[in-house]
Structure 1
Amino acid sequence: MGKALLGLAGAAVALSVGAGSAVAQDKLKVGFVYVGPISDHGYSYQHDQGRLAVEKELGGKVTTTYVENVPEGADAERVIDQLAASGHKLIYTTSFGFMNPTLKVAQRYPDVKFEHATGYKRSANVATYSARFYEGRTVVGLISGKMTKSNVIGYIASYPIPEVVSGINAFTLALREVNPKAEVRVVWVNSWYDPPKEAEAAKALADQGADVIVQHTDSPAPVQLAQERGLWAVGQSSDMTRFGPKAHLTAIVDDWSPYYLDRTKEVLDGTWKAKDTWGGFKDKLLYLAPYNPAIPKDVVDLAEKARTDIMAGTRHSFTGPIKDQSGKEMIAAGKTATDEQILKMDWFVEGVVGKLPK
């Protein structure tokens, strides 16, 4: 069974539990490090669903541990080190800000396999993995462009990193494809999970006339605010319908279970190698939550065509011509952004209101 490590102070104590068990020692110990609580109903919750899938299928061969609410920075390095020092031979670190701490700990424990989510730095014992979240942003951008009446979309963003910026851009490009008059107003909360801040951001955007609230943060607070105000909302990471049944259009749902099962099995059978995995709809690393019944059939058909075209490779979120806010052409007509361009995206497309923090 998995163990939760509650708080940094208690982590070292909790990790020592079961050290004398021969059965526990025979099993592969797998650790998971989360930036938020598993009760966030968003990003960390979905990663923990993947952990639970590993326990369910491989419980006879593995034992899992998780640490939640780990700040990005020095605290992360301490937690990751504690997991490695206590015999965990496979450790998943699941937030962008865990990248450098993971690399540092990995240098000290060359016999431990590390997997870092959403990062780009690898080594002999550090692999990276992420989902092409921007593919989902394209589909919900099309839906939002059709559902808005005010032509103002509110977008609650966490941090100005390429993953978030590319999502905003993919969303805006699709939005304006079907509704050239629509604009996207972004509020940065500088947190992945902060329900009060997210709620305040949603209120501010609603007060500015937004009738659709989109988020790249992890709590259901924006969906709840949209339900209260009679607005539309798009959930993040998990199906948030229950927090606003009338408001919730759909959500971009992360599904880490297949990846966690495959990579854990590779450690067990000795075939694991450090590599980068970046998958989308086709790879089943993400999918869309059920569409709100209030969405007209022609809009659902539009969304589904985009989703299936992305899977087939006949549609890409970043096919030119694409201009930035100043009107400068960033991607030429007929060209498609490379993975490297997407992973380094630090500019906004036309239609986004406000400047990107530097």
Structure 2
Amino acid sequence: MRINRRRFTQLSLAAAATPAAFAIGGKARAADPLKIGFVYVGPIGDHGWTYQHDQGRLAVEEEFGDQVETSFVENVSEGADAERVINQLATTGHGLIFTTSFGFMNPTLKVAKRHPDVRFEHATGYKRADNLATYAARFYEGRTVSGILAAHVTKTNTIGYIASFPIPEVVRGIGAFTVAARRINPDLQVKVVWVNSWYDPGKEADAAKALIDQGADVLLQHTDSPAPVQVAEERGVKCVGQASDMSRFGPTAHMTAVVDDWAPYYKERVKLALDGGWSATDTWGGLASGMVKLSPFNGNLPAEAISDAEAAIAAIESGERHAFDGPVRDQSGTVRVPEGEHLSDEGLLGMDWYVEGVQGKLPG
């Protein structure tokens, strides 16, 4: 585990000398900056998930100046290591702590219960407390747009999907992509390789190569390194980047990226903490809120593909279109979402089934 040691040590020493300046619902003394900690599952240089969260942290520093002091711990394993790191932040004067991976959920809740005067925010989880908020983005809406692009450009009707872990967030992304793509091209099939890691460039590259060898001419990923984009560029297939604009890694291959923009949310939550208005809310933002965006479409895409993608963005933002508008069938052909309805948020949050068009068996 690598730590931003200089900043973290400075903040720890300062916190040892003075108690935390913040209590739930209270304002800080003007002389005491709000100490904010961020816990990351990957490195800040992953060019994906963790990179985008750290861009949000930097935006907080720029917005609030000397009203805040931030620190981060990167490459934190999900489990006991996470609990240790979160607890260390909570006991060293940090008044607001963001934990930014699904696997940090239970460790965050445990530490939050031990430190009721510290505010915690957990990304992509569902467990809350009086001092623990949750937040996530509707990444699947971006996958819908990606599916439209893929349907327009594939020649083999085979799409490769590099997936991290079989949790609902990832499964519904695969589903949203496949549903959108097959409504344009019903012959399209999606092959999934699970790498069981959020960030492992070697495994991601190997998965990308294996999928291309199996006929995939478009690659999607729910992993965080640019390795699949680089492989796509080398092998002459199309791809979609993850979390940030990865076009520099594949100028020809990269069609767009599903971009996570955490900065506005982080600035809003920090302001509430500074002003005494923070509470344990649950936020799930998508294209309409700006929490999810699509990076600029590659100019080498067919005009019709770009036009259809832009129309889908507008329709999703307005509420006219839902990623899982019925009818939606599962792999067996059973209708899971009838025509005229769409999958509820409850159904999305618990999604544990493949839609029609996805090959293979979902890992248990």
Aligned residue for 1:59, secondary structure, equals helix
Given the alignment, which residue of 286, 291, 313 partners 1:285?
291
Q: Within 2, Cα distance between the matches of 1:201 and 1:266?
A: 43
**Counterpart contact for 2:56–2:263, Cα < 8 Å:** yes
Q: Within 1, Cα distance between the matches of 2:315 and 2:8?
A: 49
Given the alignment, which residue of 210, 233, 237 partners 1:231?
237
Q: Which runs of 5+ in 1 are unaligned?
A: none
Q: Which residue of 1 aligns with 2:12?
A: 16
Shift of 1:60: 1.9
Q: Percent of pairs identical after alignment?
A: 63
Runs of 4+ with >3 A deviation: 10-15, 17-25
Q: Which residue of 1 aligns with 2:267?
A: 261
Given the alignment, which residue of 72, 91, 94 partners 1:88?
94
Q: In the alignment, does 2:105 pair up with 1:99?
A: yes
Shift of 1:24: 11
**Counterpart contact for 2:132–2:280, Cα < 8 Å:** yes
Q: Within 1, Cα distance between the matches of 2:209 and 2:295?
A: 24
Q: In the alignment, does 2:47 pair up with 1:47?
A: no
The within-5 A match list for 1:26-41 is 26-41=32-47
- Residues 93-130 of structure 1: CA distance to partner in whole angstroms, max 9, x if unpaired? 00000000000000000000000000011010000000
**Counterpart contact for 1:253–1:287, Cα < 8 Å:** yes
Q: Which residue of 1 aligns with 2:215?
A: 209
Q: Within 2, Cα distance between the matches of 1:46 and 1:25?
A: 30
Q: In the alignment, does 2:62 pair up with 1:64?
A: no
Given the alignment, which residue of 242, 246, 259 partners 1:240?
246
Q: Within 2, Cα distance between the matches of 1:352 and 1:295?
A: 24
Aligned residue for 2:257, secondary structure, equals strand
Match of 1:270, as an amino acid?
A: G
Q: Within 2, Cα distance between the matches of 1:170 and 1:61?
A: 41
Equivalences, count: 353
TM-score computed with the length of structure 1 as normaliser: 0.96
Q: Which residue of 2 aligns with 1:122?
A: 128
Match of 1:347, as an amino acid?
A: W
- Residues 63-97 of structure 1: CA distance to partner in whole angstroms, max 9, x if unpaired? 00000000000000000000000000100000000
Task: Say what the alpha-carbon RMSD is for the aligned residues.
Answer: 1.7
Match of 2:243, as an amino acid?
A: S
Q: Within 1, Cα distance between the matches of 2:218 and 2:255?
A: 9
Q: Within 1, Cα distance between the matches of 2:320 and 2:98?
A: 33
Q: Within 1, Cα distance between the matches of 2:173 and 2:338?
A: 20
Q: Which moved more, 1:21-30 or 1:38-47?
A: 21-30
Aligned residue for 2:130, secondary structure, equals coil
Aligned residue for 2:75, secondary structure, equals coil
- Residues 147-180 of structure 1: CA distance to partner in whole angstroms, max 9, x if unpaired? 1011000000000000000000000000101111
Q: Which runs of 5+ in 2 are unaligned?
A: 19-28
Match of 1:126, as an amino acid?
A: L
Match of 2:196, as an amino acid?
A: N
- Residues 173-201 of structure 1: CA distance to partner in whole angstroms, max 9, x if unpaired? 00101111110000000000000000000
